[in-house]
């Protein structure tokens, strides 16, 4: 039986993926003995350290290139089957979690990855797209993938912040240990911090097995990131770092010229690693969906920041209630900012019966830690 444990408060459960305290749970490994099946060209080479899988669903994720690009060590996660590190987590989730979800909320690269693995496992998948928030090029991309789409404004279960994804992400640490052994640190692009947490979990397990010491961990982030989960990662020793846009864009173009198409935040990781030293590894993330918004790279506006601040306690609110709290903005401005924050994945919204009328209510996502 899988045992879940909250990394913050220590509560355990045999079924909950999210702790009552709001943190994503992690899986407690049954035994920690380093073992690698060297013939297996995927994350499943570490099968004995991953959750039990009835049937492994793999598209060959993991074993991504580790090499130097202009002197900087990079781990190129764009080389995963759907172009994203998320494939590592999707493979574990679909193989090990008995997930019954056939409907996925559209979370861009996360959904593309998870849907690809669910389809490979023979499950029927439908992606629920909110017609008020999706943009047409994303819609076209989804339809080209021939993934059935339904339009609805309702929310479905979050598919990213969960213990199985974390197990998949920890294999990045295992690969760094297996193929590099010694290095000073890793620079990880971070938004919610889930990817970084998975990697840190992998290093902690390697440490517990007596194989290596925890390397230095740098989380690179868009300016303004913070909040509970990132603070928790800092309490585990992670440091945060943010570079300016110009620097990041120069790296973005440099990498693209070399055929490495990364998300802007990963270009920042590349710049940061080049400053930290030649034995720092920059983790490069990308996605098969090459349409990365510069908007989600730009720092939050003052109004967006104030809105996140008033939503901080996690309560649901209508746009009108939020507008009453933020002061000095127009209602239309608040609507625009809410749409932007939804697109950035920082808040969620759904239509609900509210005081006898159907209204859209907004809530801060648990991982929206950019305050």
Ligand X SMILES: N[C@@H](CCOP(=O)(O)O)C(=O)O
Applying CB under 6 A, which residues contact ligand X?
189-196, 263, 265-266, 285, 367
CB of 54 to ligand X, least distance (A): 27
CB of 241 to ligand X, least distance (A): 14
CA distance 295 to 301: 11
- Reduce the DSSP state of residue 232 to 3 states and report it: helix
Angle CA 190–193–199, to nearest 5: 95
In sequence order, the 6+-apart residues with CB closer than 8 A to the CB of 248 are 264, 265, 267, 268, 271, 297
Nearer to ligand X by Cβ, of 361 and 369: the residue is 369
The string of DSSP letters for 290-346 reads ----STTTSPPPHHHHHHHHHTTT---EEHHHHHHHH-SS-HHHHHHHHHHHHHTTS
Nearer to ligand X by Cβ, of 203 and 323: the residue is 203
List residues bridging with 5 in a β-sheet. Answer: 12, 26
DSSP 71: T
CB of 314 to ligand X, least distance (A): 18
Q: Report which of 154, 58, 140 is spatially closest to residue 103, judged by C-alpha positions.
A: 154
Nearer to ligand X by Cβ, of 196 and 347: the residue is 196
Nearer to ligand X by Cβ, of 158 and 195: the residue is 195
Nearer to ligand X by Cβ, of 108 and 306: the residue is 108
Q: At 31, which helix (H) or strand (E)? A: none
Nearer to ligand X by Cβ, of 50 and 196: the residue is 196
CB of 285 to ligand X, least distance (A): 3
CB of 299 to ligand X, least distance (A): 16
Distance of CA 115 to the CA centre of its chain: 16
CB of 219 to ligand X, least distance (A): 8
């Amino acid at each position: 039986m899988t045992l879940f444990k909250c990394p913050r408060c220590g509560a355990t459960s045999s079924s909950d993926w999210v702790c009552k305290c709001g943190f994503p749970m992690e899986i407690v490994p049954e035994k920690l003995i380093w073992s690698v099946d060297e013939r297996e060209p995927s994350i499943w080479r570490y099968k004995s350290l991953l959750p039990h899988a009835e049937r492994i669903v793999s598209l060959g994720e993991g074993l991504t290139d580790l090499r130097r690009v202009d002197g900087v060590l990079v781990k190129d996660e764009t080389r995963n089957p759907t172009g994203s590190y998320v494939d590592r987590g999707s493979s574990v989730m679909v193989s090990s979690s008995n997930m019954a979800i056939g409907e996925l909320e559209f979370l861009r690269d996360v959904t593309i990855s998870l849907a690809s693995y669910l389809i490979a496992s023979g499950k029927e998948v439908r992606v629920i797209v909110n017609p008020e928030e999706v943009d047409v090029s994303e819609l076209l991309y989804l339809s080209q993938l021939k993934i059935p789409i339904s339009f609805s404004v309702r929310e479905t279960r979050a598919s990213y912040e969960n213990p199985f994804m974390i197990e998949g992400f920890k294999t990045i640490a295992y690969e760094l240990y297996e193929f590099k052994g010694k290095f000073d640190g890793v620079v990880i692009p971070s938004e919610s911090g889930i990817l970084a947490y998975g990697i840190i979990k992998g290093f902690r397990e390697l440490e517990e097995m007596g194989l290596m010491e925890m390397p230095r961990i740098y989380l690179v982030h868009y300016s303004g990131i913070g909040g509970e989960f990132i603070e928790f990662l800092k309490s585990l020793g992670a440091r945060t770092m943010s570079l300016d846009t110009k620097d990041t864009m120069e790296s973005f173009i440099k990498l693209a010229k070399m055929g490495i198409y990364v998300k802007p935040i990963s270009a920042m990781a590349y710049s940061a690693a080049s400053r930290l030293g030649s034995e720092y590894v920059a983790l490069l993330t990308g996605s098969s969906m090459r349409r990365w918004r510069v908007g989600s790279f730009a720092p939050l506006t003052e109004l967006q920041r104030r809105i996140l601040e008033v939503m901080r306690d996690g309560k649901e609110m209508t746009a009108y209630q939020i507008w009453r709290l933020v002061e000095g903005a127009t209602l239309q401005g608040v609507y625009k900012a809410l749409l932007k924050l939804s697109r950035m994945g920082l808040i969620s919204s759904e239509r609900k019966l509210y005081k006898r009328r159907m209204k859209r209510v907004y809530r801060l996502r648990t991982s929206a830690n950019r305050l």
